[in-house]
Structures are given as C-alpha cells and as structure tokens.
Structure 1
C-alpha cells in the first residue's frame, strides 16, 4: 500500500494511472457489443487502419498533438469501416476476409508513411513510432482530459442507447421490424468503436488496443448471462487492468505500461475461464462430478433400496 500511495503522489503517474483506468473502463463497455455482434476482429482492424491517419495528420501539420492524431486516426478508421462494408456488399467475400484485406492494406500504408516521415525532412518526428506499441508514460494532463471526454461520451452513449444496441446485437431483424433504424445504429456503434480504438492508441498502441476491447468483454461473459451486468463487469475488468498495468509498470523500471495492461486483462481472462460460476472449468468439473455421482446412485439397486427405506421411515 505504501508503494501504491507513493506512486499516486507523483503528478505524472497520476495522469497515467487515471488515463489508463478510464481507457480500460470505456473500452470494456463498448467492447461488449462488438463481441456480441461477432465483430471481435473489428477493433484490431480499425486500430491498424488508424496508423496511416496518424501519419497523414503529422505530415500535414508537423505537430505531435493527440487531438490532431485523434482526428486523423478517426477519419482513417471511418474510411476503413466503409471499405469493409463496400467489399462485403459488392463482392462474394465475407466480413472476415474483408477485414483481413483492409487491416493489411491500411497497416502496410501506415508503415510506408512512417518510414517516409523518419527518413524525410519532417521536424519533431521523435517518438512517432511509439504509436505502434503505445507510450503511456508520455501522457500529460491534456491527453487525460481528452480520454476523460471520450470515456464519458462512450459510457453515456451506451447507457442511453443500451436497449437499441442490445436488440441489434441479438436480433437485428426484429429491431428492423419494430421500426429501429438498424443501419444507422450499426454505423453509430462502429463509430463509437473507432473512437474507443483511437483513444487507446497512445497508451497501448495500434497492435494491442484490440485486446482492451475484447478481453474484458469475454472475461465478463464467464460470470453472467445478463447483458447489463456483463457490460458493468467488462468495464470494471477493463478499468482494473489499466490500474494494475500502471502500478506494475511503475514498480518495475523500463517496463511498458501498455503491454503490461494487456497482460493484466489476459490474467483476468484466465481467472474467469477457471472460476466462472457457470461457464468456468472448475464449475463445469464440479457439475460433471455431481451428475456422475447422482447417476451412480440412481443406477445402483442397493442405493435405491436404501433411499426408499429412508423415505419410508420419514
């Protein structure tokens, strides 16, 4: 506890701790709907597609500003989203193939632009490659303020449109039948995922940001069958991963915050797989043992007669 309080007394660590916690919270909430709609790879695709947007924003302005990078990455993510939709509608390719094409194409373009920047006459280019794997230690107060706004936006949108997102996640045909604008809601949900991905790029990078969207949601699924509780648990798991990742990286020198945060989320997933109350491996093994014992008792004539004698005595 003394180490934790010592860490939180550092103003720079306060920004990093708060930023990573908010990032995990918002990513966990919005990631539930992406997971339920079987679009787990969409976050990974949008994260890789955001890299050329970041590079183009820097090439046009020459300024390393998280706000400008958010705009560029968001624009690139939206283009990638429409590209996936266009490919699936106008070809025989399925969505997973379309996402693979867009992911590799945009990420390849981003690497080319990043190489041109590093070997060009662009000033203030130092640290731009950190967006590949994230650099949470470089966050300042304005970055955390931006993340706070993004977190509030995502949570507010998911709260107000919870019923609509729930219906289109499980039965879009029914949603269309009762008059919901399904196409608009799907695009809005995709936009929120883009915002969550772009906000997390600075902390964990384009390579690992998809883990913060999917891993907390999958972990929460092992603990409940109710969507509302699942969304809450996913947000809590994401926030806990961000907090634990920041604490561990601050305790060990030269340990990056983003990858440690992802490892913390993966550890929570492992605990959920083992000890989930209904779906966990331990719970399933105990259930199988109970069923086997009941079957053995019911199939044993001596045991049945013993049970009947007890019932008669009662």
Structure 2
C-alpha cells in the first residue's frame, strides 16, 4: 500500500513538472517517431519531381545564393550586427502594413504590401543606427542594441494589435518571425529569383567599388569615391534580400543566411572574388539541402533546417578550410614553432663555437662538439625541448651525437647555422642603422624577425652592408655569451 502511494506521488509530481505533454507522446512511440525517408523519396526530392517541392527548393536555393553574395560585403564592411538590427526592424513595418491594409478594406495578408512595409521600416532602422552613431558618443554595438530592441519591441506590440483585429488571426503574421518556407508560392519564387539576379548583377558591376570601401573607406573617400552612396547601395541590397527572405526563414534567422555563408567561405580562400562566389555557393547549398530535408521529413521547420545546414557548412569550413581552417593554422603554427626552435638552436651552436676560447673548451671547439649543458644554459628552454630539437636536427642530418653528451654540426648543419646567424645579424644591422636601437638591445628584436625573412628582404638587407651582397660574414654588434631569452 505504501509503495503504491509512493509511486502515485512520484507520478503526480512528474505530471506537475511537465504539464503539457504532447498527445503524440502519450499515445505511444509509434506516433512520435517519424519513419526515415526511402531512397525513392529522396530521389524524388533531389530531382524536384513534385511541383510544390520544386517551387520551395528553387526559391530557398536562390535566396541562399543572393544572401551569400550580399552578405560577403556586409561581413567585410563589419556590418554583420547591422544586418541583424535591419531584420528585426522589419516587424513593425509588417504589422503596420497589415493594419492599414485591413482598415482600408483590402487584403491584409497581401504579400507585396507586407514586404513593402517591411522594407520601409528596415530602411528606417538602418537610418536610426547611423543617426545614433554619428550624433552621439555611443559605440556601434550600443546603437545596434538600442535600435534592435526598440524596433522589435514595437513590432511585437503592433503584432498584438494586428492579431486582435477581425482578420488578424487568419493573417499568419507570426510566419514572418519564424519563417514558413512550405507556404511559398510560384510568384514568391519568381520574386526571389529576380532578387537573386539583381544582387548578382550589382555585386559584379560594383565589385571594385564595394571592395574599396570594405577594406579602406577613408582612403576611398580621400580619392573622391562616393562612399555614402555606395554604402547606401550596399545596405539597399541587404534590405531587399532581408525582406524577401522573411517568409522563407523569418526575421530572426534571415541574418544567418547573410552572415554564415561568407564567414564559411572566408576559411577557404584569401581572394575576394573566390570568397564571393563560394559564399553564394554555400548559401545556395544550405537553401537546397535545408528545404530538401524539410520536404523529406514531416514537422521539420524549413527555415531552421536551412540555417542549421548553413551552420554545418560553417563548422566544416572552420575546421577543414584550406586558407584559414583550424587544422591548417594549427599545423602552420606547429611548423613555425618547430622551425623557430631549430633555428634558435642552430644559432646558439654557431655562436658557442664562434665565442668559445677557454682552455676547458679548446678541444671541443676544434672538433666542434657542443656540450648539451652549454646549449641548455644559453636560453630559457627546458632540457626536454633542447633534446627534442636536437633529435629533429639529427633526423634531418644537420647534427650528429658525440659522446659523452654533446652534438656536432654536420657540413649541412654548419651551413644552415651560418644562414640563420647571417639573417639575424643583418636584421640587427638594420635596427641599429634605421631604428636607432642601441647595439646591446637589438638581439631580442632580431630574434623575433629572423625566422620569417624572405629572400627579397634578405637581399635588401645585404645591400645595406658596406661590403655589399656576398661580402664578408657580418660580425655581431654586441658581445656573445650565455644569455636567457624566449625559445
């Protein structure tokens, strides 16, 4: 009896904490789980056999392409948050347009009227941000936060009024907040196609001008370019794409289509043209895959799936990107760190041999065998780091172990050490001659730069020497001895 009462109490508590379980969950697992699509169904979606699927997928794909193209310049212009404020500012425009059209006895949910109101208020929102930035001491992020929250709050209030009107509940205005891709009509897809074509044409025609103001707006203004008008044109394209994308992904998620594809494309290239087209391709792929997955599985919101697909592309790009991916940059950082350690040890070996003159080290100097402890004392590196670096040098044939605990440079190692020391001293000479740095202070500065000098820079530095290129080996401008420094 007591056990039954305890179980009943636990069940009552669970029902209290979770009061609104879906009916499907209560009915049993067979009504909750959705069957996986079959291969014929997948093929049917990919080949766009069904009319509704064809309209939705093509519309979402073109929207993603347009957003990717325009978003590239927004990202480089550092206007990512501005596009977020722009999208949220559309909500009061949608609500006011619906109210006015309903009061005039028209069709309150006329799509063209709603997006016209959205476009007007997105421009007002952008103008509000610019006005606050130019005529107040607030920073950009504060101005964006104020405008975004104010316009969105106004939109929610007006939306509440609109939904209480006679035709308000049937208008489906909340679809503009979360998106409703499945309701896309043929004319909507045509409008998106025209927008995508317009965005592509303007991005091609004004590629040079947009590139200039994205990378150096002050220089463009100094050269006489109409920066304000170009900025207005760029933001106008963003407004058009945002307004057109409201029905597909909603005002909350449309900013993702503007920012995520170009952010993903930036991991793959350093060339702006390639980044532009990769961004359009990634946006189109996200639109195609997201709307296709939504069509295959019931109760999956297409807008959210499109954004999640774009996020997956971004994640893969961030890790595997051939230009700035985490794997590539981590590998390059490891290689540079290993190169610095090798060159620092080679320079330490050369300087030890160059400076050793005591009777105790005379025999070692003659045969160029450098004691391990002598290298360990020259820098603030650990014993494990020095031994690991010596192993790397030995594996490359630059040093050879010499009993009892010493290392001697090979012919190739000696030449490599001479090149490293020469580059170091060339840069020291430059710092003394051009930067007016005292000879006793140049060692650290040269140590930071010598590892990244390219052949052209070395040739320029050699011309500074009195004997010219190919002259005598430069001497150290400061005494050489055991010192401590960074590895």
The 5-angstrom pairing of residues 184-199 of structure 1 reads 184-199=229-244
1:304 to 398, 409, 421: 398
Distance 1:277 1:153, change over 3 A: same
Q: Which of the pair has the greater relative contact order for Cα pairs under 8 Å at 6+ separation?
A: 1
1:292 Cα deviation from its structure 2 partner:
4.5
Cα displacement string for residues 96-128 of structure 1 (whole angstroms, at most 9, x for unaligned residues): 211111111111111111111112223573321
* 1:222 and 2:280 matched: no
Give the number of the structure whose residues are more often helix, by fraction.
Answer: 1
Q: TM-score, normalised by structure 2?
A: 0.61
Q: Deviations over 1:11-32 (max 9, x none)?
A: 0010100110001000000001
- The Cα of 1:90 is off from its aligned counterpart by 1.4
Name the CA distance, whole Å, in 1 between partners of 2:156 and 2:341.
Answer: 63
Write the deviation string for residues 143-201 of structure 1: whole angstroms up to 9, x where unpaired: 00111111111111111011000001111122112221111111111111111111111
Kindly name which structure, 1 or 2, has the bigger radius of gyration based on alpha carbons: 2
* TM-score normalised over the length of structure 1: 0.94
Q: Does 2:186 correspond to 1:141?
A: yes
Contact 1:297–1:304 (Cα < 8 Å) also in 2:
no
1:80 pairs, out of 125, 135, 139, with 125
Instruction: Say if 2:270 and 2:323, in contact at 8 Å, map to a contact too.
Output: no
Q: Residues 1-314 of structure 1 correspond to what in structure 2 (within 5 A)?
A: 2-7=40-45, 8-62=48-102, 63=107, 64-122=109-167, 125-295=170-340, 299=345, 300=390, 302=394, 303-305=397-399, 308=410
Distance 1:170 1:228 in 2: 14
**Post-superposition shift, 1:4?**
3.6
Q: Distance in 2 between matches of 1:38 and 1:135?
A: 29
Q: CA deviation at 1:278?
A: 3.0
Paired with 1:202 and 1:74, the residues of 2 have a C-alpha distance of 13
Please tell me whether the aligned partners of residues 59 and 122 of structure 1 are also in contact (alpha carbons under 8 angstroms): no
Q: Per the alignment, in what secondary structure is the counterpart of residue 230 of structure 1?
A: helix
Q: 1:123 to 1:45 in 2, by over 3 A?
A: closer
Runs of at least 5 residues in structure 2 that lack an aligned partner in the other structure: 1-38, 346-389, 401-408, 415-487
- Measure how far apart 1:94 and its partner are: 1.9
Counterpart of 2:461 in structure 1 is none
Deviations 1:71-103 (A, max 9, x none): 111100111111111111211112221111111
Return 284-293 or 141-150, whichever deviates more: 284-293
Which stretch shifts more, 82-91 or 281-290? 281-290
SS of residue matched to 1:127? coil
Supply the distance in 2 between the matched residues of 1:222 and 1:123 (Cα, whole angstroms).
45
Unmatched segments (≥5 aa) in structure 1: none
Inter-CA distance 294–180: structure 2 relative to 1 (3 Å threshold): closer
**Root-mean-square deviation over aligned CA pairs:** 1.9
| Cα distance in 2 between the residues matched to 1:83 and 1:41 | 14
